[in-house]
Amino acid sequence: MINYRCIEVKDKEEIYEILLEMRDYFLDGIRRTNQELYEYADKLAKNAHFKVTYEIDTVVSFVAYYANDYVNKVAFIIMIAINSKYQKGITGYITLGRMLDESIKKLKHDGFYKVQFEVDKANTKAIALYNKHGAIYEKDSSNNMMLMYIDLTDFTNNNL
């Protein structure tokens, strides 16, 4: 039996290494120079929740989100990713779904009302994952992207 471990990473060096390893699986927004990526890792370490699932020492998937709008109680998922080795099977999606579940539960527990995220309209797998968690289309945003959200006031474990 394979063991997976899910942890929250706060170390900028570790976040940087994960972003470097996974950078080819992102849209153009993550295609930055190594220095810019390092600075972004520092920003994530200071301001975001960065949750990673490992299989031994291999990154399977991760979720990164901001939960710092304490006035409006709105969180924002910055990115989700699945290592290409795990995209063909179900393992990557299961681990990513579990991390998303746990993140949503924590946000609701912490008093957040809504979690927003931007998704590529062509990324049907991500849209299906978000829809499974009760996501609602909000509006089109830039280029081929759309803004979606999950209403945490209506969210229950039945959404999972």
The mean pLDDT values, 10 residues at a time, for the chain of 160 residues are 81 94 65 85 96 89 94 94 80 80 91 94 87 91 90 68
Dist CA 68 CA 53 (whole Å): 23
Q: Which of 102, 79, 82 is nearest to 92 (CA)?
A: 82
CB of 32 closer than 8 Å to CB of 42: no
Dist CA 8 CA 63 (whole Å): 9
Structure tokens, 140:
């089109």
Q: CA of 129: how far to CAs of 18, 57, 117, 119, in Å? A: 22, 25, 12, 11
Can you give the pLDDT at residue 2?
60
Dist CA 59 CA 83 (whole Å): 7
Query: Could you give all domains of the chain from N- to C-terminal order, each with its CATH number?
Result: 4-159 (3.40.630.30)
Instruction: State the chain's mean pLDDT as an integer.
Output: 86
Beta bridge partners of 120: 145
Pairing status of strand 114-120 against strand 74-82 = parallel
DSSP class of 72: T
